[in-house]
Amino acid sequence: MMNYIWSAMMFISLIFALITGRVQELSTAVLQGATDAVELLMSILGIMCFWQGMMEIANRAGLTDLLAKLFSPVLRLLFRDVPKNSPAMQYISLNISANLLGLGNAATPFGLKAIQELQRANPQKDTASDSMLLFVVMNTASLQLFPTTLGAYRATYGSRSPFDILPCVWVSSIAALTVGITISKLFSAKREGLPLEGGLSKWR
């Protein structure tokens, strides 16, 4: 789907550039955008490698397992339809731990593994389960204690205090997570109340 979206955006940009006679400006913007992307990537590479390394150290030291145990009671309440011994719970905990540290790149592999395990426990393979939908919402909201990636971006663009946004990040992420979980649970309850024949197909 994303390939179609990006292709459409590129095609529309080219058409409008031809219509308005600004093909040269479009070519310049494309080249400048590619240059800026590479420069930004190189500028945050150091801090990203540092925090990825810290996450790996925490994982090998057992800190992530400790966090998984701490999150376990809350996650059991949220993901009631997931078997207790499912590896999905550990991957969900690791994903949340990485997001708490603002390491979206480190959280992605754990999120993919969690979805795979949730799909294995899903009785209807052609329909996303409530737990899968809830996890996607939680991963998107991603409660962050230390937004390291965002701080790296701010430092790259000249911010003297890249982490002075912490209170705003905490409030906004907590609000987003609360609203997301609430809406997900409401839709889940509504879907469970639908008639079995034809009802679930409305929510696919």
Q: How far is CA 41 from the centre of its chain?
A: 19
**Residue 3: inside a domain, yes or no?**
no
Tens-place pLDDT, residues 52-92: 677 678 778 877 677 767 877 888 888 887 877 778 887 88
Boundaries of domain holding 77: 32-203
Q: Is 17 inside a domain boundary?
A: no
Q: pLDDT tens digits for 122-147?
A: 878 877 788 888 888 888 887 777 77
Are residues 118 and 157 in contact, defined by beta-carbon separation less than 8 angstroms?
Answer: no
Instruction: List all residues 6 or more positions away from 194 whose beta carbon is below 8 Å from its beta carbon.
Output: 200, 202, 203
Residue 6 falls within a domain, yes or no? no
Element (H, E) at 19: helix 2-20
Q: Are 114 and 136 in contact (CB under 8 A)?
A: no
Residue 67 neighbours by CB distance under 10 Å? 17
| Residue 124 forms part of a structural domain | yes
Q: Specify if 21 maps to a domain.
A: no
**Comparison of pLDDT for 202 and 141, the residue scoring more:** 141
pLDDT value at 186 more than 80? yes
Mean per-residue pLDDT over the chain, rounded: 78
Yes or no: say if 134 and 184 are a contact pair by the CB < 8 Å rule.
yes
- Specify the pLDDT at position 204: 40
Rounded distance, CA 162 to CA 158, Å?
8
Q: Which residues contact 184 (CB under 8 A, 6 or more apart)?
A: 130, 133, 134, 137
Q: Which residue has the tokens 């997931």?
A: 82
Q: How many domains does the chain have?
A: 1
Does 125 map to a domain? yes
pTM of the model: 0.61
Q: Give domain status of residue 22, yes or no.
A: no
The answer to whether the beta carbons of residues 74 and 51 sit under 8 Å apart is: no
Let me know if residue 95 belongs to a domain.
yes
